Structure 1
Amino acid sequence: MPQAVSPNVGNPAASAVTFDSFFMGGFECSSHRRKDGVRLDLVRATGHDSHAQRDYRGCANLGLRTLRDGLRWHLIEKAPGVYDWSSWAPMIEAANVAGVQVIWDIFHYGTPDYLDQGGKELIERYAAFAAEAVRLHRAVSGKPALVCPINEISFFAWAVEVGYFPPAGPRRRGWFKRHLVKAAVQGIRAMREADPECRFIWAEPLIHIAPRDRSRAEIRTAEKVRQGQFEAYDMLMGRVEPQLGGSEDLIDVIGLNFYPHNQWYLHGPTIPMGHHEYRALSEMLVEVARRYPQPMYIAETGAEGSGGPAWLHYVCDEVREAMNQGARVGGICLYPITAYPGWDNSRHAEVGLFSVIHADGSRRTRQPMADELARQQRLFDQHSRPTQPGMPE
């Protein structure tokens, strides 16, 4: 397998982030309220809260020794500054026992009920919560935390602005994204003060937007909207709007979330793979690599149902091509790794490697996905192996 070791270019004084495996698994951990007020808790809904150790071992047995998982802030801090870690500390212990490395999402959309996520208090309370979280992680595991400070700032901001999530703050375009960046900046400062060795591994959507026609105005607008996918990273790095406090050292690894629906026409439908407007993932990864010096990884990818193996095949082929062109891709995370109930209507979504939990407490392995994963693990192992003199390419 490729060495999943990512030198930290943004923060030369920091040690490198080392992933324990190139292929990873991510547990759906969204805990936000829907626009109708219903609170989601996907960690509980998938049974992962009570089966964490078994879930982690199942992943490790298939070579997924680095995982993504998340905290449920709404359970931990039900009153300002009062923390109950009983929903998370056992998961840290389970990871230790299973021998897996976890990238923890500190803030995966859901805020405590007492907190107005559009208010200034969010920034202060988030920073305090994040600092306490990395302290606890060190105390329980004996290791510095690998964290995703805020999951998908771009999507989070879009969801609030269009009303997919409950509204927050003024309705000015772009306001909530800046609000989240401010929270992330202050949170990272607090986490670094609590544990200087913790590292920051992000997750933002990777998208493509095509014009509906070839008029100059349409092309310009589509490109402007497409470039918006980089705003959160540019703000975090201080490349734009430096008053938000961003700097290059806030990002150790760039995470990119890529799904079959991540390409669409401006104000139009999804672009299907194979269409002439569909952009190769390898091209998109190379663009990111040229834009930012930090190493990257695919933080989320997957497809539902029988399309899963073919999608993994496509993503892996494109990642190898991007690596051939010099992009430093340090891993691919299958997300979600288990079946889960859909956000909007709780429908059964068959994704990832593992089923829901059955009556005997086990999850069934989706064999076609496991077979494709094993094949791709072999291909990446061959891809990273240097060619010896006299041996065929």
Structure 2
Amino acid sequence: MDNFSFAVGIEDTFVTQTERGERPLDEYVLTQHYENWKADLTLAKNTGARMIRYGIPWHQVEETRGIYNWSWVDQVMDYFRENPDLVPIIDLMHYGTPRWLKQEFINREYPEAVARYAKAFFQRYQDVTPYFTPLNEPYVNAEYCGLLGKWPPYQEGLAGFNQLMMQLGKGIVMTVEEVKSILPDSIAVHVDATKKYIAKDASLEMERDRWSELSMYSWEMIQGKLGDNDVLRPWIQEHGVTDGDLNWFSERKITPDIVGVNFYPQFSVHDVERGPSGVRLPHRMGTGRDMIDIIDRFLERYQKPVFITETSYRGTEQERIDWLHESLQEIKQERKSGKDILGYTWFPFLDLVDWEYRTSGKSVEEELLPFGLYTLQSKNGQLIRMKNTVGDAFEQEIKKFYP
């Protein structure tokens, strides 16, 4: 199993704009990671995991346009230099932008700004790791910021969704171009949420196929394939995407080095059924086989290796352990058959604070969600990291892989 890596990830969502009265959502603040980063990384390393998905807080690094403050990041990167047995996959963008970038992702400057920041990062830290993610989950980003209007720039509807996807996609392409210009052997791990749709009856198979293609949007976009996608092209052009946009991606297309699959059994599988006002897409509980079906789709379509960049289960420790065992058993079987699956990431490593914290008015303690290998327990204002039985089971699984 030498060509397989276990990984963990520190939740690093950063949405700090508060113009509409929301509270800033900076998971490193809320989980006290800024103060406890070294201890957290040591706990991660001690699991036996060989890799970690690790986010850089762009909004902190570039508080003032064009001026980079790397003082906190320097410490963390030094840790990785001193501990080469824990290799970071650098998460350059995880939803949030600096506050000076007004209108956030739909600002015309966004693609150039994010690529400029990525270039500055790798100019400084190119010796630390070749692995990076240019932007985490473009589909979810566009959904929250462009379709549902929950996060800035608060666009709504399908036109807003497409506008966000175009901007995010251009930022991804330009980020990869800049990083590769500095570090040609860098490895771009393109990460997005993944979906499987199951039609309730044969009359819904076309809807199922449409939604399945929508879940491939970001992958088709960055590889310049949208113009040839007979399902996606007419739909996105109905809602604001121009021939000029399609040509831009066709001319600047990039190829993922690794496909990063984010799969959560509670969120990644949907039924397709008819409701009183149209098609409904309720969640159904996913299985390990559903995860493999999604992996197979990527392997067959893009012929690139796959890394499970996020998976976990929100629930009791036993439910999390059951999912760990089920999902890893499927991964082992598929690898035995020769499938190019490079790794498995439990995400998040620590419990996280629900994104609804921005508007709920509840305390951090009330918003903690039970996902992690370590439980966060509040004591005298401090969030104590307590390894739980899921953490023990994760370490045991790693030892089975690397006896």
Query: TM-score scaled to structure 2, two decimals?
Result: 0.81
CA deviation profile, 1:176-235 (whole Å, cap 9, x unmatched): 112111111112112222333332112111211223x3152x221122111211121121
CA deviation profile, 1:118-173 (whole Å, cap 9, x unmatched): 121111111111100111113xxx33442100111111111121223233568514
Equivalent in the alignment of 1:245: 249
Q: Structure 2: where are the runs of 5+ without partners? A: 228-245, 273-279, 358-363
2:312 pairs with 1:334: no
From 234, 238, 256, the counterpart of 2:261: 256
2:386 pairs with 1:364: yes
Q: Hey, what's the Cα distance between the residues in 2 that align with 1:268 and 1:287?
A: 20
Does structure 2 retain, via aligned residues, the 8 Å contact 1:33–1:40? yes
**Partner amino acid for 2:262?**
N
Equivalent in the alignment of 1:183: 171
The alpha-carbon deviation at position 236 of structure 1 amounts to 1.3
1:222-233 maps to which residues of 2 (within 5 A)? 222-233=208-219
Larger CA deviation: 164-173 vs 258-267 = 164-173
CA deviation profile, 1:327-377 (whole Å, cap 9, x unmatched): 2111001100001221103411122211227669862211x2133223422
Q: Hey, what's the Cα distance between the residues in 2 that align with 1:164 and 1:33?
A: 13
2:201 pairs with 1:214: yes
Residues paired across the two proteins, number: 356
From 375, 378, 382, the counterpart of 1:355: 375
Q: Hey, what's the Cα distance between the residues in 1 that align with 2:175 and 2:40?
A: 29
**Partner amino acid for 1:259?**
Y
Q: Hey, what's the Cα distance between the residues in 2 that align with 1:219 and 1:136?
A: 50
Identity between Structure 1 and Structure 2 (%): 21
**Partner amino acid for 1:67?**
I
Q: Hey, what's the Cα distance between the residues in 1 that align with 2:28 and 2:57?
A: 8
Q: Which secondary structure does the structure 2 equivalent of 1:192 belong to?
A: helix
Q: Which secondary structure does the structure 2 equivalent of 1:201 belong to?
A: strand
Equivalent in the alignment of 1:17: none
Equivalent in the alignment of 1:12: none
From 95, 108, 125, the counterpart of 2:80: 95
Q: Hey, what's the Cα distance between the residues in 1 that align with 2:21 and 2:327?
A: 35
- In structure 2, do the counterparts of structure 1 residues 87 and 374 end up closer, same or farther at CA, with 3 Å as the change threshold? closer
Q: Structure 1: where are the runs of 5+ without partners? A: 5-21, 383-393
Q: Hey, what's the Cα distance between the residues in 1 that align with 2:208 and 2:150?
A: 22
Q: Hey, what's the Cα distance between the residues in 1 that align with 2:80 and 2:295?
A: 31
Equivalent in the alignment of 2:327: 315
The alpha-carbon deviation at position 44 of structure 1 amounts to 1.9
**Partner amino acid for 1:3?**
N
Q: Hey, what's the Cα distance between the residues in 1 that align with 2:149 and 2:16?
A: 12
Equivalent in the alignment of 1:285: 295
Q: Which secondary structure does the structure 1 equivalent of 2:297 belong to?
A: helix
**Partner amino acid for 1:343?**
W
Q: Hey, what's the Cα distance between the residues in 2 that align with 1:320 and 1:26?
A: 21
Q: Which secondary structure does the structure 2 equivalent of 1:300 belong to?
A: strand
Q: Which secondary structure does the structure 2 equivalent of 1:89 belong to?
A: helix
From 115, 126, 147, the counterpart of 2:114: 126
Q: Which secondary structure does the structure 2 equivalent of 1:238 belong to?
A: coil
Q: Hey, what's the Cα distance between the residues in 1 that align with 2:21 and 2:223?
A: 35
From 31, 48, 54, the counterpart of 2:14: 31
Does structure 2 retain, via aligned residues, the 8 Å contact 1:37–1:166? no
**Partner amino acid for 2:256?**
I
**Partner amino acid for 1:252?**
D
Q: Hey, what's the Cα distance between the residues in 2 that align with 1:287 and 1:32?
A: 32
Q: Hey, what's the Cα distance between the residues in 2 that align with 1:28 and 1:227?
A: 28
Q: Which secondary structure does the structure 2 equivalent of 1:156 belong to?
A: helix
- In structure 2, do the counterparts of structure 1 residues 163 and 361 end up closer, same or farther at CA, with 3 Å as the change threshold? closer
2:149 pairs with 1:163: yes
From 143, 152, 155, the counterpart of 2:128: 143
Q: Hey, what's the Cα distance between the residues in 2 that align with 1:279 and 1:51?
A: 37
Larger CA deviation: 316-325 vs 60-69 = 316-325
Query: TM-score scaled to structure 1, two decimals?
Result: 0.83
* Root-mean-square deviation over aligned CA pairs: 2.5
Larger CA deviation: 368-377 vs 238-247 = 238-247
Q: Hey, what's the Cα distance between the residues in 1 that align with 2:182 and 2:12?
A: 24
Q: Hey, what's the Cα distance between the residues in 1 that align with 2:153 and 2:208?
A: 26
Q: Hey, what's the Cα distance between the residues in 2 that align with 1:231 and 1:340?
A: 28
- In structure 2, do the counterparts of structure 1 residues 164 and 365 end up closer, same or farther at CA, with 3 Å as the change threshold? same
Equivalent in the alignment of 1:114: 100
Does structure 1 retain, via aligned residues, the 8 Å contact 2:173–2:254? no
Equivalent in the alignment of 2:283: 270
The alpha-carbon deviation at position 98 of structure 1 amounts to 3.5
- In structure 2, do the counterparts of structure 1 residues 63 and 73 end up closer, same or farther at CA, with 3 Å as the change threshold? same
The alpha-carbon deviation at position 50 of structure 1 amounts to 1.7
